[in-house]
Chain A
Amino acid sequence: MEKQEQHIRRFQVSHTVIHLMIITSFLILALTGMTLKFPDNQFFALISKGLGGPIVTGYIHRFGAILTFIYAGIHLVQLGLLFKRKKMTVMGLFSEEYTLVPLPRDAIELKNNLLYFIGKGPKPEFGRWTYWEKFDYMAVFWGITVIGASGLVLWFPEVATWVLPGWAINVATIIHSDEALLAAGFIFTIHFFNTHLRPDTFPMDTAIFTQRVPLSKFKEERPREYEEMVNKGELENHLVPALSSTLMKTVKTFGLTFLTIGLIIVIGIIYSLVFI
């Protein structure tokens, strides 16, 4: 990454803020949650003890939940504003380049990408959002809904049973716990690899924190979007300078810390699942 290289602005500051909120809350939720899911694991038991026992850990977990509900709310407001300012339309969700809704084109790209993996075709030309990025985004929606709802039942079981039967608490426990396992397992392995650890970007992709991507990398990774920018003559509007190396260092330090924590948690999970 040469210092002087032109960058493309890919994200807004608000995206960075939200992603930081996601990272923070997610790490909190995953770590505190896993202590209760795997109490036989010495590592998680130690964390629980260090945090002040399961009751305190529970409070911290609920703090993470509140943070999650906040960023989910912020994001929904953002989406609403985008619609209001006509920057986004319902029709556009199913056709425009900006859409995160999975479309038939994504299925084709998936097929082509798999063919590329096994050496039976060229690398697909991706646009602004690849199919796995769209999956990540939709998964968060799904996850927050499922884990959030079941979590609320567990948080307020007395209130929940005004409506639900008693065994719903048991079901909520299973759903909350396993969906969380899916989320944490997915983020800390698949998302980490797809976004950061794959050979192209190893050790990490800083775009979400710096909001920018080097032009060369942008051209290579998202040729379709680049092409569209060039065709529309908007490329110049998106060009930004690189960040200072100090800032980059800070970003990388933070990013790698988050990555490490996530990997430690996933190692703990795998250890618990396999050995305990």
Chain B
Amino acid sequence: MQKRAIYFFSLLLMILLSTGVLMAGEKEACLDCHEGDEFPVRFLEFNNTGFSTGEEASEDVKEIHLEKFDSSAHKKQLCTDCHTTATVDHDDEGKEIAKVKCQNCHKDQYKTYAGTVHGKAFLKRKDRFAPTCSSCHGNHYILAKSSPDSSTNLLHVPETCGRCHKEGTEMSETHTIHRSKIIEHYSMSIHRKALFERGLTVAPVCTTCHGSHDILEHENQKSKISKTNVAETCMQCHGLIEKTHEPMIRGQIWEKEAGKPPVCVECHKPHDLQQAIYDKTITDKNCLDCHSNPDLKTIRDGKTVSLFVDNNKHENSVHKDEPCVKCHFDTHADTDSLCKDPAALAEHLKTSGNEVNSVCKKLQPVNCASCHDQEVIAYQTGIHGKLAVKKDLDAPNCLTCHGKHDILSKKEPASATFALNIPNLCAKCHQDGEESAIRKTASQTHILQNYSMSIHGEGAKKSGLSVSANCASCHTPHKVLPATDPESTVNHANISETCSNCHIGISETLNKSIHSPGVTKTDKKLPVCNDCHSSHTITRHDAGKFRLDIAAQCGDCHKEAMTSYFETYHGKASKLGEENTAKCSDCHSSHNVLPATNAKSTLHPANIVGTCKNCHPGANIKFAGFLPHATHNDRVNYPILFYSYWAMTLLLIGTFSFFGLHTLLWLIRGLIDKKKTR
């Protein structure tokens, strides 16, 4: 601090001591001569490097407009704050004004600048193209970068840098810059689109990656764009990029050195950034020149494989707007000599019988993750992906379900992944007798048949309801896991949530019921949807077998209630196949099961008559006093029934004992008498 103060005061003293010092408030004194274009300018243009170019000064320098200056960032400064050597009569004295030294105030920036590629060019190499402060910031009318009109404002940075770095400028012609067509490429990039077309002010410009005062060449280890730092630079914005790139980094084709992921710019060209990375110069026509040949083939693992691509199918596919190279980015069109020479290729095909095996480079398998990364992550987490990693031949991959060049959107009815077609698609492996069913003796059999007869299957097949649940609705399309897996959507712990994707109302009711883990804290297993509704065989709840099975289903846990229910008319008629007599759910409700003490319970004294009235329109409060679970075997709780039963039973025993004996004796006597008469 002290040093600075000394420096400052000595500077001040120097200024004061100099002749004809312009004092504070004497801005006008300068403007007497310099304002407007009235005064003939006799000083030469110092080009932006500070060296005289021998040309007339630009308008900006020679004409000083006070209003414009007063709205600049330096409005509070006096002319002499920067032009320290200026005196009122400097012109008469023939004195040359010393160059402005921005570092007098902007010391840190200058320090940084001095070590950079620009700074070194200016200070050491005296490169006339080297930019100084004013090259980017301007002279008298410097604006803060937050001002939209500032040359250093986000929106103007590419333009400002482009003054030198644009293709065709003198600087770019005379200097070796590592990248070419920088501005042109940037103008095509997703970053520029984000900024100028979508108006995203967080989108990067030159300075975001290269820095402003601290620009270093990419070879410099300290550079923000050096190989070691570039990932960090990109991650200023792309914070979670590592996570989304997992399948690509792990997938071998992305890995140049074992265990070492490539840095961003190795795949994403630094200026010409696109969402996908492929060579746009190779057109589909280049590919189809060869691949539209229906006979084109190769030998792979001893098998003949057709290399024909039916472009008509591709034209109708969901990828119709995507070029071949977007998926087959490691195209051989630019490397294989035959691709470039149609005549030679035709000749080769003639002699080889359309076989290209040894001639063309084999392409890597398409990695769908380059666009569909979320889906692929899900797939890899699922059982299908896990099996695929183990090189299991039965394991399906993207193509198994989606197809190749003819991929259709799942919204297209003709697509294999269209909602109504999914059951048949999955059944290709999961139907009895097919791969999956053979290898895994799962708890579920006859999956397709059962599903087809289920309410979901009928909804889809008979009524053509595309919203009716299909395999993927419950098992998810990509992250398919066995029910035993705690992460599976069909795991006991998750199934209610899965069903609630469609049955949200029921889910809300169930979550408030006594069967919800949120309501009842117990070690016992609480029922979830498929405990009562089954899975693939799910049927309508209001008719048929489902109603007849309710009591047994509830009885899995509520054994006593089930036993006593079956002793009543409701239960006995139910046993005889009557669907309409009351089942558990008719009184207790199906999902809204609550203790009778709860005011919302169907059994609550306020609601019970209404519940009975569903079947017994004439029900009254005394009628509701019927004991639907009463048993005559329980003397403590139902003494009246207990004694009624035993009174009746004694009557029976008494009558039958007496008359049984009477009859037996009579029979014996009768037989004796009959024998006598004979």
Contact = CB atoms under 8 A, between A and B. Distances in A.
A157 B616 contact: yes
A185 interface: yes
A118 interface: yes
15 contacts: A48-B577, A49-B576, A55-B578, A117-B662, A154-B569, A158-B620, A161-B622, A167-B630, A169-B623, A190-B656, A193-B663, A194-B666, A199-B670, A199-B671, A199-B673
Nearest to B628: A170
Given A159-B618, A199-B674, A45 B576 contact: yes
Contacts of B626: 157, 161, 166-167, 169-170
A36 B620 contact: no
The 7 closest A-B pairs by CB, nearest first: A166-B625, A158-B618, A199-B670, A178-B648, A117-B665, A39-B575, A54-B573
B659 A186 contact: yes
Contacts of B656: 182, 185-186, 190
A157 B568 CA distance: 14
Interface in B625-642: 625-627, 630, 632, 638, 640-641
Contacts of A48: 576-577
Interface in A168-206: 169-171, 173-175, 178-179, 181-182, 185-186, 189-190, 193-194, 198-200
B654 to A, nearest CB: 10
A239 B375 CA distance: 103
B630 to A, nearest CB: 5
B623 A158 contact: yes
Contacts of B580: 55
Contacts of A93: none
B511 interface: no
Contact of B623 (A37, A157, A171): A157
Given A55-B580, A158-B620, A199-B673, A171 B663 contact: no
Interface string B547-584: 00000000000000000000011001101111011000
B671 A166 contact: no
B316 interface: no
B663 to A, nearest CB: 5
Contact of A162 (B577, B581, B620): B620
B12 interface: no
B649 interface: yes
Contacts of A118: 665, 669
Contact of B622 (A55, A164, A173, A178): A164
B674 A53 contact: no
Contact of A114 (B638, B665, B667): B665
Question: From DSSP, what is the main secondary structure of chain A's interface residues?
Answer: helix
A154 B663 CA distance: 34
Nearest to A37: B572
A171 B648 CA distance: 11
Nearest to B622: A161
A194 B673 contact: no
Contacts of B627: 166-167, 170
A210 interface: no
B619 interface: yes
B624 interface: yes
A40 B622 contact: no
Interface string B584-622: 000000000000000000000000000000001111101
Contacts of A119: 669, 672
A166 B575 CA distance: 24
A53 B666 contact: no
Nearest to A177: B648
Contacts of A166: 622-627
A200 B217 CA distance: 129
Given A170-B627, A171-B640, A178-B651, 7 more contacts: A39-B572, A49-B576, A158-B616, A158-B619, A161-B622, A166-B624, A170-B640
A193 B569 contact: no
A197 B575 CA distance: 36
Nearest to B580: A55
B576 A36 contact: yes
Contacts of A169: 623, 626
A189 B656 CA distance: 10
Contacts of B105: none
A117 B659 CA distance: 13
Contacts of B672: 119
A158 B648 CA distance: 25
B569 A36 contact: yes
Interface size class of B (residues with CB under 8 A): 35 or more
Nearest to A135: B659
A193 B667 contact: yes
A137 interface: no
B655 interface: yes
A104 interface: no
A165 interface: yes
Nearest to A189: B663
A182 B630 contact: no
Nearest to B674: A199
Contacts of A25: none
B652 interface: yes
Interface string A19-49: 0000000000000000111011000010011
B7 interface: no
B631 to A, nearest CB: 9
A111 to B, nearest CB: 12
Contacts of A154: 569
A169 B568 CA distance: 10
A135 to B, nearest CB: 8
B644 interface: yes
Contacts of B645: 174, 178
A167 B660 CA distance: 34
B649 A178 contact: yes
Interface in A120-167: 132, 154, 157-159, 161-162, 164-167
A116 interface: yes
Nearest to B673: A199
B236 to A, nearest CB: 75
A62 to B, nearest CB: 14
Contacts of A193: 663, 666-667
A182 B655 contact: yes
B641 A171 contact: yes
A212 B622 CA distance: 54
A54 B666 contact: no
A189 B667 CA distance: 12
A203 B638 CA distance: 46
B644 A171 contact: yes
Given A167-B630, A190-B659, A199 B667 contact: yes
A198 B666 contact: yes
A166 B569 CA distance: 14
B668 interface: yes
A175 B648 contact: yes
Contacts of B649: 178
A174 B577 contact: no
Contacts of A117: 662, 665-666, 668-669
A39 B576 contact: yes
Nearest to B671: A199
A54 B569 CA distance: 10
Contacts of B668: 117
Contacts of A53: 576-578
A185 B630 contact: no
Interface string B57-86: 000000000000000000000000000000
B201 to A, nearest CB: 74
Contact of A198 (B578, B620, B632, B667): B667
A118 B651 CA distance: 26
Contact of A54 (B568, B578, B620, B659): B578
A119 B625 CA distance: 57
A119 B665 CA distance: 10
A169 B569 CA distance: 11
A68 B572 CA distance: 25
Contacts of B652: 178, 181-182, 185
A190 B664 CA distance: 10
